[in-house]
Amino acid sequence: MQVHGGSIALAQLRIGFDNFCYVIYCATQKKAAIVDPGFDATKALAFLSAHELTLLYIILTHYHSDHTADAQRVRSTVPAAKVVCSKEDGQRLSLRPDIEVSQGSALNVGTVHLEFFLTPGHTPGGICILVDKKALLTGDTLFIGDCGRTDLPGGDLSHMFHSLHDILMRLPDDVIVYPGHDYGETPFDTLGNQKRTNKTLQAKTLKEFSMIP
For residue 181, the 8-state DSSP code is B
Beta-carbon contacts of 39 under 8 Å, excluding residues fewer than 6 positions away, are 15, 16, 19, 65, 66, 69, 70
In angstroms, give the least distance from the CB of 17 to Fe ion: 14
Binding piece for Fe ion, criterion CB under 5 A, among 8-16, 95-103, 136-144, 188-196: 136-144
Q: Which stretch binds Fe ion (CB under 5 A): 80-88, 134-142, 181-189, 196-204?
A: 134-142
Closest Cα partner for 25 from 135, 127, 139, 152?
Answer: 135
181 near Fe ion, rule: CB under 5 A? no
- Using CA atoms, how far residue 86 sits from 39, 90, 97, 163, 189, in Å, is 20, 6, 9, 15, 25
Closest CA to 139 of 152, 157, 120, 126: 126
- Pick the closer one to Fe ion by CB: 31 or 64: 64
- Closest CB 139 distance from Fe ion, rounded Å: 7
The smaller minimum CB distance to Fe ion, of residues 12 and 19, is found at: 19
* Residues in region 29-68 near Fe ion by CB under 5 A: 64
Of 64 and 75, CB closest to Fe ion: 64
With binding defined as CB under 5 A, does residue 182 bind Fe ion? no
Name the residue nearer to Fe ion (CB basis): 48 or 84: 84
Closer to Fe ion by Cβ: residue 46 or 152: 152
Residue among 115, 162, 161 nearest 135 (CA): 115
Asked if 140 is part of the footprint of Fe ion (rule: CB under 5 A), the reply reads yes
Number of residues that bind Fe ion (CB under 5 A): 2
For residue 111, how many C-alpha atoms fall within 13 Å in the half-sphere facing its CB?
9
CB of 180 to Fe ion, least distance (A): 7
Map residue 152 onto helix, strand or coil. coil
Instruction: Return residues touching Fe ion (CB under 5 A).
Output: 64, 140
